[in-house]
Amino acid sequence: MQTTAETFVTTSKSLQQQVAEAIEDRALPISRLLRLMWALDADRSAANQNLRAQLRARIGAPLSA
């Protein structure tokens, strides 16, 4: 049984593409956003720091925003 980020975030798109789309999609469930955040945290790449900040802002944004 895998317990890595790839278990939860599997697609042909890069993690960066998935996060960018998630930030724009206001109908995406919070569970999906949290999985993406977990995958970003698991990656630990310095390049993902900006993506983490954007995703955190999206998770905390009101639904009407």
Distances in Å between the alpha carbon of 13 and those of 17, 18, 60? Answer: 6, 6, 24
Predicted pLDDT of residue 65: 54
This prediction has a pTM of 0.71
Give the whole-angstrom CA distance, residue 26 versus residue 43: 24
Q: What are the extents of the domains in the chain?
A: 15-59
Predicted pLDDT of residue 60: 87
Distances in Å between the alpha carbon of 12 and those of 6, 33, 51? Answer: 11, 17, 19
Predicted pLDDT of residue 32: 95
Could you read off the pLDDT of 4-18 as tens digits, one per residue? 444 445 568 899 999
**Residue partners of 18: CB distance under 8 A and separation at least 6:** 9, 11, 36
Could you read off the pLDDT of 16-65 as tens digits, one per residue? 999 999 999 989 999 999 999 999 988 888 878 899 999 999 988 766 65
- Residue identified by tokens 């999206």 is 58
